């Protein structure tokens, strides 16, 4: 069954911006598939990753230079950001 996932508005916007960028390179399907795989993994094993900063854990994409920044709150995973790993935040 797994944890429920909630994406904050900022993360949704960041995902959309990245998807648009990869669409311009004909890679949007691969990017979204990579995101979906990481999301599925996150739903089942959110505690697999250590806390990096202010209670935030990060999960890297497999194929793309992006990471999911999230917190685990009881039975819910809250995604705060989806960032390019070269991006300052």
- The DSSP letter of residue 9 is H
- pLDDT at residue number 18: 96
User: Has residue 83 got a pLDDT over 60?
Assistant: yes
pLDDT on residue 87:
61
3 state DSSP class of 2:
coil
Half-sphere exposure of 60 toward its Cβ, with a 13 Å CA cutoff?
A: 8
Q: What is the pLDDT confidence band of residue 74, given thresholds at 50, 70 and 90?
A: confident
The answer to whether the beta carbons of residues 65 and 86 sit under 8 Å apart is yes
Query: 78, 8 in Cβ contact below 8 A?
Result: yes
Does the reported pTM lie above 0.85? yes
Of 68, 10, 22, the residue nearest 43 (C-alpha): 68
Per-residue model confidence as pLDDT tens digits over 12-60: 999 999 999 999 999 999 999 999 999 999 999 999 999 999 999 999 9
């Amino acid at each position: 069954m797994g944890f429920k996932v909630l994406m904050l508005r900022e993360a949704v916007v960041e995902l959309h911006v990245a998807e648009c960028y990869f669409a311009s390179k004909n890679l949007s399907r691969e990017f979204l598939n990579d995101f979906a795989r990481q999301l599925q993994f996150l739903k089942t094993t959110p505690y697999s990753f250590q806390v990096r900063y202010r209670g935030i854990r990060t999960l890297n994409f497999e194929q793309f230079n992006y990471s999911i920044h999230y917190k685990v709150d009881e039975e819910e995973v809250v995604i705060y950001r989806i960032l390019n790993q070269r991006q300052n935040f």
